[in-house]
């Protein structure tokens, strides 16, 4: 699918879900490796914003980038 004005929200949804799933999957992988005694920390500190009423942060790691790539590729396939 090509990115147009009509399907921009679909693209952003795929991208957001990809970012979230990738971040969570990488965190799960890090915790599983830690349980087996191997430490792997490739994440960057929390990235986000704080408006004193609402705070949104996302830990950026390689899974985040892979998830974003997966979301974009899934969008292109559809």
- Expressed as residue numbers, the domain containing 20 is 9-77
16-64 confidence digits (pLDDT tens): 999 999 989 999 999 999 999 888 888 777 888 888 889 888 778 899 9
pLDDT band at 65 (very low <50, low <70, confident <90, very high): very high
- Say if 3 falls within a structural domain: no
pLDDT band at 69 (very low <50, low <70, confident <90, very high): very high
Tell me which H or E stretch contains 55: strand 55-60
- Say if 48 falls within a structural domain: yes
Contact 59, 20 (CB under 8 A): no
What is the tally of structural domains in the chain? 1
Q: Could you give the count of Cα atoms lying within 13 Å of 58 in the half-sphere of its Cβ?
A: 17
- Say if 67 falls within a structural domain: yes
Rounded Cα–Cα distance for residues 77 and 72 (Å): 9
Rounded Cα–Cα distance for residues 20 and 22 (Å): 5
Q: Which pLDDT score, from 0 to 100, does residue 12 have?
A: 94
Q: pTM score, two decimals?
A: 0.78
Helix (H, G, I), strand (E, B) or coil at 78: coil
- Say if 4 falls within a structural domain: no
């Amino acid at each position: 699918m090509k990115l147009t004005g009509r399907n921009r929200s679909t693209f952003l949804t795929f991208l957001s879900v990809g970012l979230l799933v990738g971040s969570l999957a990488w965190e799960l992988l890090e915790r599983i490796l830690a349980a087996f005694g191997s430490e792997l920390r490739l994440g960057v500190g929390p990235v986000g914003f704080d408006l004193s009423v609402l705070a949104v942060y996302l830990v950026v790691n390689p899974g985040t980038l892979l998830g974003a790539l997966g979301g974009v590729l899934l969008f292109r396939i559809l």
